[in-house]
Amino acid sequence: TRLLVATLHGIQIFDRAPGGEWALSSSKLVDHHISALLHEPKSGLLFAGGHYDAGLWVSNDKGESWRPCNEGLESRHIYTLAAQQREDGPVLWLGTEPPMLYRSVDLGERWTALPGMLKVGNTDKWTFPPPPHVAHVKNIAFHPARPDEIYICIEQGALLKSVDAGEHWDEVVGYESDQDFFYNDNHRVLIRPSDPDDFLMNGGEGLYRCKHGVWTHLTDR
């Protein structure tokens, strides 16, 4: 019965009466370009990440009020948010521009950077077409059966994989082609729950599938 929409002018909140139509009920954080919204189901908290210097915001009342929660973030230009349910409680993840991955184990009160992602090769080739041509972490995905296995998409530059919860990373290869117009322009990974070693990835060059280590280019851009 409540829908939150991230826009260039904050969060637009829609409510729906039982059996009725959606109606705009309020707008929040209207001075910020909101890029990502996340609902953490166990705590009920809502998180909103913003572009440029908007940073991260949290709400404990279904979006009615918001407070900043940026402790530990070196950049407040946020592109993606994700929540992972682990045995010892929920873990939040956040990706920024310049490209950096952050983790929080206390529901966003404090954030820890994971700079191991910058130790892979070819980081000098990471870029983004619009000025100032700085890449960012576009998406975060988790293996459902192996919680320490994490994938992140760098727009543009790489698909990275970690098997130790983000401490160390390797670049995933095998999908690239000399005919690609964009350099490793990866946007999102979707892992199949029934067979987690079968996943899809989309980006500037179209849609890919990696099934047990074998890549197939399904569509062009």
What are the pLDDT digits (tens) for 168-178? 999 999 999 98
Instruction: State the average pLDDT for the chain.
Output: 96
Would you say residue 137 has pLDDT above 90?
Answer: yes
Note the pLDDT of residue 139. Answer: 97
Note the pLDDT of residue 34. Answer: 98
Note the pLDDT of residue 86. Answer: 92
Euclidean distance between CA atoms 65 and 29, whole angstroms? 9
Note the pLDDT of residue 221. Answer: 83
Which residue in the block uniquely carries the two structure tokens 């404090």?
A: 110
Would you say residue 185 has pLDDT above 90?
Answer: yes
Note the pLDDT of residue 19. Answer: 87
Would you say residue 126 has pLDDT above 90?
Answer: yes
Q: Judge if pTM exceeds 0.85.
A: yes
What are the Cα distances from residue 60, in Å, to 15, 81, 116, 173, 191? 17, 17, 32, 41, 30
Question: What digits encode the pLDDT tens for the residues 62-79?
Answer: 999 999 999 999 999 999
Residue 138: pLDDT band with limits 50, 70, 90: very high
Euclidean distance between CA atoms 57 and 144, whole angstroms? 27
Q: Tell me the DSSP string of the chain.
A: -EEEEEETTEEEEEEE-TTS-EEEEEEESTTS-EEEEEE-TTT--EEEEETTTTEEEEESSTTSS-EE--TT-S---EEEEEEEEETTEEEEEEEETTTEEEEESSTTSS-EE-GGGGGSTTGGG---SSTT---EEEEEEE-SS-TT-EEEEEETTEEEEESSTTSS-EE--SS--TT-SSSS-EEEEEE-TTSTTEEEEEETTEEEEEETTEEEE----
Instruction: Name which of 178, 107, 182, 181 is nearest 138 in CA terms.
Output: 182
